[in-house]
Amino acid sequence: MTQTPWLQLRGITTYFAENNVTANDAVDLDIACGSVHALVGENGAGKSTLMHVLSGYISAGAGRIEVDGKPVQIRSPADALAHGIVMVHQHPPYVPGFRVWENIVLGMERTGRAGLLDRRAAADMVTACASRYGISVDPHARMNRLAASQIHFVALLGALLRGPRLLILDEPTAPCTEPEVALMFALLRSLQAQGTSIILITHKLGEVMQVADRVTVMRNGAVVATTAVAETTAPRIAELMIGEDCQIGDFDRRLVQALAGDGHAAGATGLHSRPPRALPTGRDSTLELHKVSVYVGALAVLDNINITAQAGEVLGVTGIRENGLEFLEDVLSGSIAPDRGVVLLDGKPVKRYSPRHFRHIGISYIPTDRILRGASMDSTVAENLILLQRKELQTGGVLRRKDITAFTEELKRRYGITGVLHQPMKRLSGGNIQKVILSRELSGLRKVVVFSEPSWGLDLRSRDLMYSEMRALRDEGALVVLISADIDEVLSLADRIAVMYRGRIAGILEAEDRTRERIGEFMLGFQEHNITAAGERTNG
Amino acid sequence: MAEKPAASRAPPRAQTPETVVALLAALLVTVLLLVFGSPNPARALRAFFLGPFSNRYYFGNMLDGAGLLLIAGLGVSAAFRAGVFNLGGDGQIYIAGLVAAVVCLALPQAPALIGIVLALVAAVAVGMLLAGVCGLFKYLWGTDELITSFLISAAIVPSVSYLIVGPLRNQQSNLLTTERIAEHFRLLRLLPPSNLNLALLFALLLAPLAYFLLYHTVRGYELRITGLNREFARYGGIAIGAYTAMPMAISGGLHGLSGAFAVLGTHHAAIQGFTIGLGWNAIAVALIGRNHPLLIIPAALIFAYMEAGAKAAMLHTEFSFELGAIIQAVIFFMITAQVALPRLWLRPRGRSTAA
Amino acid sequence: MIFNAVEIMTPILLAALGGLFAELAGVLNIALEGLILAGAFAGILAGAASGSLVVGMLAGALAGGLLAAVFTFFSIRLRANIFITGLAVNLLAAGSIPFISTWMFGTKGVLRFPDLPRLPRLLEGVTSGVGFIDSLLFGHSATVYLAWLLVPLALVALYRTPFGLRLRAVGAREDSVIIAGVDAVAYRRIAVLISGVAAGLAGAAISLRLGVYLPNISAGRGWIALVAIYLGYRHPIGILIAALLFGFTESLAGAAQGLLAIPGTVLLGLPYAITVVAMITYSALRARGQRRRRFMDAHF
């Protein structure tokens, strides 16, 4: 393994002025020919940004890139492609109305007579490449008919047809089933055998240990360590990801172990074996989804969902993204109305499905999409903070300036928001934006609080703060719903866990049978354990 | 579903440097046109720059024009602030002017106050109706209000002209105009012989009122939030449907008000084409004033000055052409353009390389 | 009447076909009106000066293209608000043409060019024996056939060439093209230029057919074309049908004028009125069954 690195990144620095974030801070990285190089780190560590720089999708503020020892300029994806650098994005962008072959040949079209598109050649090319790597895809299928994992494979095919020397994959297995993962890894090995280098962005350390030669750990935009996979262990990598230099508490230690996939160790230290809490009975609030279905076209993205949650518990909902979590989020926040079924609060069906009405009846909601839904980036921080309290902060329709100042200062202090209240929201960092949203959503008395992917982009300290807020809410008697694709987050916080698979509840796990393995089985659809809290059967 | 967010566009906004650049560019183009297009450049230039200040008549008319622009400009920004476009201002002003004149002509015996109030109310109502339906269609079916408001206005302008030159024409006058409204309906002239009248004072009171409503009330807050991020507004329980239709109606109402004042204060009759172009000028004014009610005051004054200057230049030289539209065009081109200006403070200082 | 409808339809069809390129590339081109006006003015000037209708048409196309280039410079290069710059184009055309006209001819009113050759009529005397088909197909101005020819051309360019594939991808999902190494901005710019050239042709077709230039000769056809793009479901064939519908309605209205004694002035507003009614009806019909679209966009 002492080849001259084929690709060298030196001092790559990327700064986003919009939210004042330095996503990459003087990053160095060497990639050897024909190696599988894993890039790991927590959300927001700067992995994707670094690869976006390398693939020309965004431009770095500083640093240089050398291929074969020669400095190269990568200003656009076209430049990167010219050097054989191809990236498959985490959410590959595609044109919904296009056919598979159209989407794949975009930018490398072949023409036949009179400069017209040669459709047959394109379709044949796609089919040939697909069968070579054992991928099954219909080149004439419409993109918007494909499942998330198929879209990923289509993007991968497009990348392969560009003859990559370096293939960058961003979380490629996230939407995949177990056999699809196996297929993908086999594909990676055969590419590797042909001399293609591969960079694999992932946060699944098991995958790193399984396929990677080397691993680079990033944290807070910087490289923490690069090492041969053979010379390290998963727990060691996890520790590097979380950070060993800062004081890590008991909770973080357990998180480290959980991340490393070391279920037994974590269980032993109590992370997964929170003492089973007696579900509070006879408390005021219940939230029930009764036979809720949502369709997109003919596809049931939510399929006959039945769940009941009660005041004083945290109901976790997990699953792989694109298995219905985002639609559940929309239904629970009133953003969309179910096509079938009802949402009941305290046993009464909600009158209208609008966020306005849901707010009115006491449901608070922290959305996944903070930039578009959770915040108004061009408004001031203070204006973002008072959104839900605007009615309390007015007299006869006129806003009370003094009270607004006092109120917002108080939230800022309590949640440690760094930023100026009268500055635009877009000046804040991602973590502070989430703090603004959290403090706003928790500022009033709410019966129900829905959290969706609340820890994305938060550093550990803010995450801890949020987790304790969540627990405090529950202990005060609120009903908390936590929608998160992060198994460990759900495991450590939720009293009961519903696992979604393809729009259905694959199973609801009570305290005693919650393990990573069980959840994993449900997530990937290996089990259809159709029980609900009420014990009735829910067939998809 | 009770509410659904219609697709929205970001409110057009200008930054300070762009505003200055746009105004300077408009000035430069005007000067160039006068220099190269006029047989007597020196006289044309002097007329352009000093004409509006040369006597009470011109000065007063300029201020009167600023007042009308101010009201209509507030109307434009009411829509912009909520993230909707009202491109039908021109027609709304025109028809509202006619309606105000007709109300006064129909009730010549009515007491002054009642007649004036009725004329204003009718004019505002017709403006609100014309723009409001576009907002309503946008809310109901997502019909693009930018296109519908323009089209409705364009469809109405010829009919208004027809009424003025046809059935409602004052046969005694050489002008294509309706009869003049009764003396007691005419607003007090402040600087005779110019057209300057009470409407300007009213406009100057309206701007701070609009500022207060926009920045110090819950509804103003909700409107601004809706304009900046519809999804966020909906998420926060703001009735975004209301803030699609209402701002359009308010915008139309203010345009209507401007048209009514053009009759009650300025012209005392509806004349063919008498307000044409005012609606577009108001868009320029709103943009120069960055959609801020208080900044729209100087914006209206600056624009009225440029317009009055152009008029003076045309009157004082043999040359006549539409300087107004060209000034508008230059401003529209430049005002939202992101002219590359050094913004060094946004770049980070290079950090030391990690070991 | 059908014959008239086809003649009236032609500029709308030309402008709408060009506008379709911009629309599919993600630009709502509200500058069509001004681009048509520029094409009409430049077309008749060049046509009269050279005595050649072909030169006139080319000049119209060039004027539309140049003005569209100014439009893209501000709206795309300088990232100015596209609607405000679109208005600027309309105002610039409406404001500068009287200026040039006064400078060259001493009037900003009607310009007559008696020496201008008349637009030839093609396939005159050809008959299929069916009156309806005859008036639809034969004996029209040459520009009508040009517009018809552009329908299949647009169809092929948009749906059968790499250019069209990329252009549509730019409008539908810009980043899907960017990651494929394609300069999306360039495609957007070219699309607007195409719409400018087509609108310029449309303008020249109007003025060369009339043989005179009148102030505001475009008479809202740019806006009608814009609406025709939507009514035609953003497809060349659909646009052909929408443009024919507009042409037919307008010629009906023209005929009705004589019968019902509608004042001529009022009639000037009629095309706008028809268009807005069509647009509102269309969106109301379309709004049904569309409520899921937003969530598709949000989640897929």
Q: CATH 1.10.3470: does it fit domain C2-299?
A: yes
What is the average per-residue pLDDT within A189-215? Answer: 89
Q: Structure tokens of A140?
A: 């004439």
Q: Quick check: B236 and A388 CB within 8 A?
A: yes
pLDDT at residue A255 greater than cutoff 80: no
pLDDT at residue B201 greater than cutoff 70: yes
Total CB pairs under 8 A between chain B and C: 149
- Rounded to a whole number of angstroms, the CA Rg of chain B reads 22
d(CA C146, CA B25): 40
d(CA B45, CA B54): 13
Q: Quick check: C84 and B283 CB within 8 A?
A: yes
Give the pLDDT confidence score for residue A272 in this predicted structure: 34
Chain C neighbors of A94, CB-CB under 8 A: 173, 176
d(CA C135, CA B287): 50
Domain ranges of chain C: 2-299
Q: Quick check: A62 and B218 CB within 8 A?
A: no
Chains that touch C (3 or more CB pairs under 8 A): A, B
pLDDT at residue A24 greater than cutoff 70: yes
Q: For residue B48, how many other CB atoms are within 10 A of its CB?
A: 27
3-state secondary structure B77-126: HHHHHCCCCCCCHHHHHHHHHHHHHHHHHHCCCCCHHHHHHHHHHHHHHH
Q: Which of residues 325-354 of A touch B (CB under 8 A)?
A: 333, 335-337, 352-354
Lowest mean pLDDT among A188-192, A381-385, B244-248, C96-100: C96-100
Name, of A131-140, A520-529, B317-326, B346-355, the range with top average pLDDT: A131-140
* Secondary structure (DSSP) of A130-185: HHHTT----TTSBGGGS-HHHHHHHHHHHHHHT--SEEEEESTTTT--HHHHHHHH
d(CA A73, CA A59): 10
Per the model's pLDDT, the better-predicted residue between A527 and B127 turns out to be B127
Q: Quick check: B141 and C280 CB within 8 A?
A: yes
* Neighbouring C-alpha atoms within 13 Å toward the C-beta of A328: 38
Domains A1-84+164-231 and A284-362+448-540 share a fold: yes
pLDDT, tens digit only, all 300 positions of chain C: 788 888 889 999 999 999 999 999 999 899 999 999 999 999 999 999 998 999 999 999 999 999 999 999 999 888 888 888 999 999 999 888 988 888 888 887 888 888 888 888 888 777 777 777 888 888 888 889 999 999 999 999 999 999 999 999 999 998 899 999 999 999 999 999 999 999 999 999 999 998 999 988 988 899 999 999 988 989 999 999 999 988 988 888 777 777 777 777 777 888 888 889 988 988 888 876 554 444 444 343
C179, C181, C296 member nearest A93 (Cβ): C179
Smallest CA–CA distance, residue C135 to chain B, in Å, is 30
A26, A365, A376 member nearest B351 (Cβ): A26
**Pairing of β A496-501 and β A85-88:** unpaired
Q: For residue C300, how many other CB atoms are within 10 A of its CB?
A: 18
d(CA C161, CA A119): 10
Alpha carbon B270 to chain centroid distance? 18
Q: Structure tokens of B354?
A: 């990690």
Domain ranges of chain A: 1-84+164-231, 97-161, 284-362+448-540, 373-445
Q: Quick check: B154 and C84 CB within 8 A?
A: no
CB A332 within 8 A of CB A365: yes
d(CA C6, CA A304): 55
A402 touches chain B (CB under 8 A): no
Residues 6+ apart with CB under 8 A from A172: A88, A152, A156, A184, A200, A202
Cα–Cα nearest to B199, from B210, B211, B188: B188
B353 touches chain A (CB under 8 A): yes
Beta bridge partners of A21: A16
User: What digits encode the pLDDT tens for the residues A67-108?
Assistant: 988 999 998 899 999 999 999 988 889 998 899 999 999 988
Nearest residue of A to residue B214 by CA position?
A398
Report chain A's mean pLDDT, rounded to a whole number: 82
B152, B162, B321 member nearest C265 (Cβ): B162
Nearest residue of A to residue C156 by CA position?
A116
Q: Which residue has the tokens 């030391």?
A: B352
Chain C neighbors of B336, CB-CB under 8 A: 80-81, 84-85
Chain C neighbors of B321, CB-CB under 8 A: 98-99, 102, 108
Chain A neighbors of C24, CB-CB under 8 A: none
Q: Which residue has the tokens 């006869």?
A: A396
d(CA C62, CA A139): 41
Total CB pairs under 8 A between chain A and B: 99
A13, A358, A398 member nearest B217 (Cβ): A398
Does residue A364 sit in helix, strand or coil?
strand
Query: CA triplet C161, C166, C167: central angle to 5 degrees?
Result: 95
Q: Quick check: C173 and A105 CB within 8 A?
A: no
What is the average per-residue pLDDT within A401-418? Answer: 88
Instruction: List the helix and strand counts (H, then E) for chain C.
Output: 14, 2
Q: Which of residues 99-158 of A touch C (CB under 8 A)?
A: 102-103, 105-109, 111, 115-117, 144, 158
Chain C residues with CB under 8 Å of a chain A CB are 156, 160-162, 165-166, 168-169, 172-173, 175-183, 292, 295-296, 298-300
Does residue A398 sit in helix, strand or coil?
strand
Name, of A181-195, A260-274, C266-280, the range with top average pLDDT: A181-195
Chain A neighbors of C181, CB-CB under 8 A: 76-78, 80-82, 107
* Neighbouring C-alpha atoms within 13 Å toward the C-beta of A190: 9
Name, of B19-33, B306-320, C181-195, C280-294, the range with top average pLDDT: C181-195
User: What digits encode the pLDDT tens for the residues A36-57?
Assistant: 999 988 766 788 889 999 999 8
DSSP state of A343: E
Give domain A284-362+448-540's CATH architecture.
3-Layer(aba) Sandwich (3.40)
Cα–Cα nearest to B302, from B18, B53, B115, B23: B23
Burial, A413: exposed, middle or buried (Cβ in 10 Å; 0-12, 13-18, 19+)? exposed
Chain C neighbors of A327, CB-CB under 8 A: 295, 299
For residues C13-48, one letter each, b for 16 or more C-beta atoms within 10 angstroms of the residue's C-beta and e for the rest, the string is bbbbbbbbbbbbbbbbbbbbbbbbbbbbbbbbbbbb
d(CA C230, CA C234): 6
Give domain A1-84+164-231's CATH architecture.
3-Layer(aba) Sandwich (3.40)
pLDDT at residue A260 greater than cutoff 60: no
d(CA B244, CA B137): 10
Smallest CA–CA distance, residue A330 to chain B, in Å, is 10
B111 touches chain C (CB under 8 A): no
Q: Structure tokens of A226?
A: 């690069």
Substitution target from C153, C167, C179 for chain A, most A beta carbons within 10 A? C179
Q: Structure tokens of A216?
A: 């680079």
Chain A neighbors of C292, CB-CB under 8 A: 295-297
User: What digits encode the pLDDT tens for the residues A290-311?
Assistant: 999 988 767 788 989 999 998 8
Q: Structure tokens of B232?
A: 């966020």
Smallest CA–CA distance, residue B216 to chain A, in Å, is 5
* Secondary structure (DSSP) of A500-529: EETTEEEEEE-GGG--HHHHHHHHTTS---
Task: Domains for chain B: give ranges and CATH numbers.
Answer: 16-336 (1.10.3470)
CA of B62: how far to CAs of B191, B197, B270, in Å?
11, 11, 19
CB A255 within 8 A of CB A203: no
Q: For residue A456, how many other CB atoms are within 10 A of its CB?
A: 19
C88, C108, C223 member nearest B321 (Cβ): C108
DSSP state of A284: S
Smallest CA–CA distance, residue C250 to chain B, in Å, is 14
Give the pLDDT confidence score for residue B11 in this predicted structure: 63
Cα–Cα nearest to A43, from A173, A172, A202, A152: A202
pLDDT band at A433 (very low <50, low <70, confident <90, very high): confident
Residues 6+ apart with CB under 8 A from A365: A332, A333, A355, A358, A441, A449, A450, A452, B235
Does residue B133 sit in helix, strand or coil?
helix
Q: What is the ipTM of this complex?
A: 0.85
Q: Structure tokens of A367?
A: 């959305």
